[in-house]
């Protein structure tokens, strides 16, 4: 008999600060409450176009940008769930450099569920499903939920 405690189901949610991603976070938190799970909120980022050139960013520029992106993630979570501690479920946050689809798929390895908004901050906002969500739906090794609407059940 296995005496080790089973970890709670892990739900990974992609958040980029867009309203659909905030709705996805709200939905993921509600789902985690229902199943006794934990939420990993994942924010993927890349350097702005001017930094892509012949000279890579310095360590200071890299650190400054990483810190800025961390603040963007924290602000998006506060906007979606309300500020401060006392979240209804365990909520872990990750801010990672890389393409959003790749970062999300890596983060979702071993997860019970991956949750994304139907579209993010990309250029094709009229699309029903954004390119990151489409890539995740096609390639994730776990079920993927795509949230449309507010994430409050509406």
User: For 11-43, what is each residue's pLDDT tens digit?
Assistant: 999 999 889 999 999 999 999 999 999 999 999
Closest to 67 in 3D by CA, of 55, 78, 75, 77: 75
| pTM attached to this predicted model | 0.83
**What pLDDT does 123 receive?**
47
Output the CA torsion sign for 12, 108, 121, 61: positive
Tens-place pLDDT, residues 82-120: 987 778 899 999 999 898 999 999 999 999 999 999 865
- On average, the pLDDT of the chain sits at 84
- Give the other-Cβ count within 10 Å of 152's Cβ: 9
Order the strands of the 91-97 sheet from edge to edge. Answer: 91-97, 38-45, 10-14, 113-117, 144-147
Q: Between 132 and 113, where is the model more confident?
A: 113
Please report the pLDDT score of residue 135 as a whole number: 87
């Amino acid at each position: 008999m296995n005496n080790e405690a089973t970890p709670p189901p892990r739900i990974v949610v992609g958040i980029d600060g867009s309203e659909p991603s905030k709705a996805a976070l709200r939905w993921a938190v509600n789902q985690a409450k229902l199943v006794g799970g934990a939420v990993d909120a994942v924010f993927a980022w890349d350097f702005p176009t001017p930094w892509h050139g012949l000279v890579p960013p310095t360590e200071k520029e890299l650190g400054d940008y990483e810190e800025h992106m961390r603040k963007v993630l924290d602000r998006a979570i506060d906007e979606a769930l309300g500020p401060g501690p006392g979240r209804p479920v365990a909520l872990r946050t990750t801010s990672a450099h890389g393409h959003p689809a790749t970062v999300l798929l890596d983060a979702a390895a071993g997860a019970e569920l991956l949750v994304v908004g139907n579209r993010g901050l990309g250029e094709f906002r009229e699309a029903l499903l954004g390119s990151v969500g489409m890539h995740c739906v096609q390639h994730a090794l776990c079920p993927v939920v795509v949230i449309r609407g507010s994430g409050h059940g509406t």
